């Protein structure tokens, strides 16, 4: 293989990165591992419930940084597989949600690997490139600073340096090491990240569970779509379609009476006009139930503000979204989820005020619906929250409920999405 300046530059960059990784692997992984063990040990005392989420967040940030440099420096992709935690969750919820995530335990098991095998591979990639410099310096006369010419006071690898002849042997060994580093240093750096991937990447069982969950949520989505289609068909048949049929019959009667009994025809014409207005209203309500026009035209923020205006209770909407919009299916799911939550709050909470907060951070759409009612809301048992949870599950979203017995109730939703 031909050696080029670009290749030697690649070796130098890889060696520098290996040195950085060696320091970070030993110091960072050791510190986080000790903090994690201590924090987990004091969970029974109650202190760890508050400290563990912070420590584990630091471990995740450390692992995410390694994923980032693995992709940028060596093209090694290590997908994260953390279960999302709703924004605003209480320390107890955050602590045990994170401890119940298998990705958390992979991170913790990876830390000892990183400060041993990870440290050695990163350090060796740096040493293999930088150590030859010492051998060349000895060959050029630096050996005189370490020996009097008769006794061996310095070793370079396995070569005892006692004079110029042995110093030249050290230089020859350095040349061999430098030649080896041209091929081995980038490979060792990549090997470091392959070890990281082996420790952090999700296993087959976890991927199989992921497929199972996605299959269930997709099936729920299909069932929901079929139910929605049947509802639309029923509403059309019993509502607008029936009115249109009646209008057709009235128009036939008007046509027969227009000359014989103009007064009666005029009366029927007025009634037909009212029926057409009612049919149009029903069609608009039906369309709004399928996909609100304001959602398609103005986006999620304005659609939720319009929804709040139709609520029988005072509803405050706070929207902080950067420029751009989520995909239409995500916006639709978020809109109808909020609509369901507001409807439930109006019917069951006994609240006199509602709040909706929407923002997008870290690649997630976060929505919180709060009421000042009596509380006691729970997921399951046929509640509307179960349907909302399934709707969000279709998009890998999560739902969390905080609803003590005397209120208030806060329902938090998160949907992974990008704004475009």
Mean pLDDT per 10-residue interval, the chain, length 420 residues: 72 86 90 93 89 92 90 84 72 84 88 91 85 72 60 66 71 78 85 90 62 61 58 61 71 75 77 74 62 78 88 89 80 85 85 89 85 79 72 78 80 83
Q: What is the largest CA-CA distance in the chain?
A: 137
Whether the Cβ atoms of residue 305 and residue 317 lie closer than 8 Å to each other: yes
Helix (H, G, I), strand (E, B) or coil at 367: strand
Domain residue ranges in the chain: 5-202, 212-290, 293-416
Q: What is the pLDDT of residue 173?
A: 76
Beta bridge partners of 357: 318, 368
User: What is the distance, to the nearest Å, from the Cα of residue 226 to the centroid of all Cα atoms in its chain?
Assistant: 29
Q: What is the pLDDT of residue 32?
A: 94
Q: What is the pLDDT of residue 335?
A: 86
pTM across the whole model? 0.53
Domain 293-416 has what CATH class? alpha beta
How many whole angstroms separate alpha carbon 187 and alpha carbon 377?
A: 56
Alpha helices in 291-360 (DSSP H): 293-298, 300-309, 328-344
User: What are φ and ψ of residue 202, in 5° steps?
Assistant: -65, 145
Q: What is the pLDDT of residue 212?
A: 62
Beta bridge partners of 135: none
């Amino acid at each position: 293989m031909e050696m080029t300046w670009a290749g030697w530059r690649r070796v130098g960059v890889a060696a520098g990165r290996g040195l950085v990784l060696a320091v970070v692997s030993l110091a960072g992984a050791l510190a986080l591992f000790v903090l994690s063990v201590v924090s987990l040990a004091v969970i029974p005392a109650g202190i760890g419930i508050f400290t563990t989420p912070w420590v584990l967040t630091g471990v995740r940030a450390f692992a995410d940084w390694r994923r980032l440099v693995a992709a940028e420096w060596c093209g090694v992709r290590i997908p994260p597989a953390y279960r999302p935690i709703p924004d605003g969750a209480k320390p107890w919820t955050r602590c045990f949600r994170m401890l119940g995530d298998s990705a958390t335990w992979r991170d913790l098991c990876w830390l000892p690997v990183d400060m041993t095998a990870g440290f050695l591979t990163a350090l060796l990639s740096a040493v293999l490139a930088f150590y030859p410099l010492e051998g060349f310096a000895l060959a050029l006369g630096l050996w005189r600073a370490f020996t009097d010419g008769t006794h061996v006071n310095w070793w370079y690898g396995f070569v005892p340096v006692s004079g110029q002849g042995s110093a030249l042997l050290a230089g020859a060994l350095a040349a061999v090491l430098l030649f080896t580093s041209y091929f081995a240093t980038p490979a060792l750096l990549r090997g470091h990240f392959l070890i990281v991937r082996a420790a952090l990447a999700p296993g087959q069982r976890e991927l199989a569970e992921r497929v199972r969950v996605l299959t269930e949520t997709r099936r729920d989505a299909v069932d929901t779509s079929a139910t929605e289609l049947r509802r639309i068909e029923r509403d059309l048949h019993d509502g607008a379609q029936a009115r249109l049929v009646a209008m057709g019959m009235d128009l036939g009667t008007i046509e027969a009476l227009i000359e014989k009994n103009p007064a009666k025809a005029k009366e029927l014409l007025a009634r037909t006009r009212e029926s057409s207005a009612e049919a149009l209203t029903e069609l608009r309500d039906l369309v709004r139930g399928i996909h609100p026009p304001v959602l398609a035209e103005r986006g999620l923020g304005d659609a939720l503000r319009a929804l709040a205006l139709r609520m029988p209770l005072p509803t405050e909407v706070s929207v902080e979204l950067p420029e751009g919009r989520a995909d239409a299916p995500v916006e639709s799911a978020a809109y109808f989820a909020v609509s369901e939550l507001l409807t439930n709050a109006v019917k069951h909470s006994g609240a006199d005020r509602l709040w909706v907060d929407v923002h997008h951070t870290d690649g997630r759409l976060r929505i919180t619906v709060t009421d000042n009612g009596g509380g006691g809301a729970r997921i399951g048992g046929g509640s509307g929250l179960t349907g909302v949870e399934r709707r969000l599950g279709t998009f890998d979203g999560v739902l969390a409920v905080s609803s003590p017995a005397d209120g208030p109730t806060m329902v938090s939703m998160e949907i992974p999405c990008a704004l475009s």
